[in-house]
Structure 1
Amino acid sequence: MTTVEICVSDVPTALVAETAGADRLELCADLGQGGTTPSLGTVEVALRTLRSAGVRIMVRPRGGNFRVTEVEEQVMLADIAAIRRLPNPHDLAVGVVVGAVAADGRLDLPVLGRLIAAAGPLPVTVHKAFDEVDDQLRAIEEIIDLGADAVLTSGAAPSALAGAARITELRQRAGDRLRVIAGGGIRSHNVRQVLAETGAREVHLRAPVPRDGREATDGDEVRRVVAAVRTG
């Protein structure tokens, strides 16, 4: 079965996405900056309120590039430790999302290794910082060696469709050692094409709609995506 992951910015949008049938949610703040760490209050209430969807929590202290300073790493480690301490009354599948790129265009393996170790039993997704590295085939082996659970990628292209050939190559290289999540420009009208061209079994997208002067989640679009992948 194909997994649909919806990126959401708060508890109300998370509830909309879950009700619409999303399998998993990526919970972030500040989507305009590509997503940063949500407040602990947001995460705690989400874990209390959601009933079935898995939750991946973005751990990223700021927007901008994916270089991680020593101080920023300490913040990320503290956030991961705090997330691990939160109650999970409905036994949701909870994980964290991280990423770090070094100045030489490779993954920052020391930082990533410490973040993944700090997550302990929580599954770790490496986010689209992965699309900034120069050699993705080498990087995916490095991510596997570090013990990450998944990687989110558009194949270093502007969209998952444009990067379909690379996503296919990455998925084939990873095999059953790492889950490759296709993301980038995916909507209900093209999700089946993305799945067909990449072979991916997991997709990641936002379903934005303006509401009351801010971005909300379009429950109808989530339902259309879910219906498309279930009947594809």
Structure 2
Amino acid sequence: MKKIEIACFNLESALIAQKAGADRVELCADMSVGGTTPKIEKIQKALEHLTIDLYVMIRPRGGNFVYSEAEFEQMKSEIVTIKKLRVNGFVFGILNEDKTINIEQNSALVELAKPFSCTFHRAFDEVSNYKQALEDVISCGFSTILTSGTFPNVMEGKEVLKQLVIQANNRIEIMPGGGLRSTNISELDEMVNANWYHSSAITDGSEIASLEEIVQLKKKLQS
């Protein structure tokens, strides 16, 4: 059974995602910069209402994915605090200046997050060598990579996504995301054949997920 994760920037979207049959919510703040760590209160509210899994973004700011020592310490502190709320997983990613995976820092955060699963987010799309980066992310202990195949969106990156799924060989989930919609998910799935897919399901320029869009994403994925 293939599954869908919805990126949600507010509680309303998270509730819509659950109602529409999504399998998991990725909760973030600051849609304008692609997502940052949400406030504790927002996470707590989501947990009060959700029965599906909730993963939380750990990202101190928008911009690049190379972090100062202070920012790294902030990420560690956020994981320790949010872990106590009993979320289901975390979403983050740290790169080196040369666009390689920062193995030391990522491994430390994955270790800190245990026993919860971690997704390496779309920082992956900025790497210089995706084949090497995949092996590095696996070595850090992540369970999933969220990626558009190193291109601006999943349809442009579909060839790379297919290669990543083949190379991963069930050692890690490759979760296509970035421009994924009900209008292209069937074509993408036919080529890539991933187990998980990721979308914000926002269709009207707002920050609220569309219930109908999520229903259609699920329907096309199961057909």
TM-score surpassing 0.5?
Answer: yes
2:140 alignment partner in structure 1: 146
Mapping 1:128-207, distance limit 5 Å: 128-207=122-201
1:65 alignment partner in structure 2: 64
Equivalent residue for 2:213, pick from 198, 218, 221: 221
Output the TM-score relative to the length of structure 1.
Answer: 0.93
Shift of 1:185: 1.1
1:14 alignment partner in structure 2: 14
Shift of 1:165: 1.1
Q: Is the 8 A contact 1:6 1:206 kept in 2?
A: yes
1:37 alignment partner in structure 2: 37
2:77 alignment partner in structure 1: 78
Shift of 1:219: 0.7
1:97 alignment partner in structure 2: 91
What is the distance in 2 between the residues matched to 1:216 and 1:147? 32
Q: Is the 8 A contact 1:161 1:197 kept in 2?
A: no
- Aligned residue identity for 1:26: E
Any runs of at least 4 consecutive aligned residues in structure 1 with deviations exceeding 6 A, and if so which?
Answer: none
Shift of 1:71: 0.4
Shift of 1:87: 4.6
Q: Percent identity?
A: 34
Shift of 1:143: 1.0
- What are the ranges of 5 or more consecutive residues in structure 1 without an aligned counterpart? 89-93
Shift of 1:16: 0.7
Q: Is the 8 A contact 2:31 2:207 kept in 1?
A: no
2:121 alignment partner in structure 1: 127
Number of matched residues? 223
- What are the ranges of 5 or more consecutive residues in structure 2 without an aligned counterpart? none
Shift of 1:67: 0.8
What is the distance in 2 between the residues matched to 1:188 and 1:210? 14
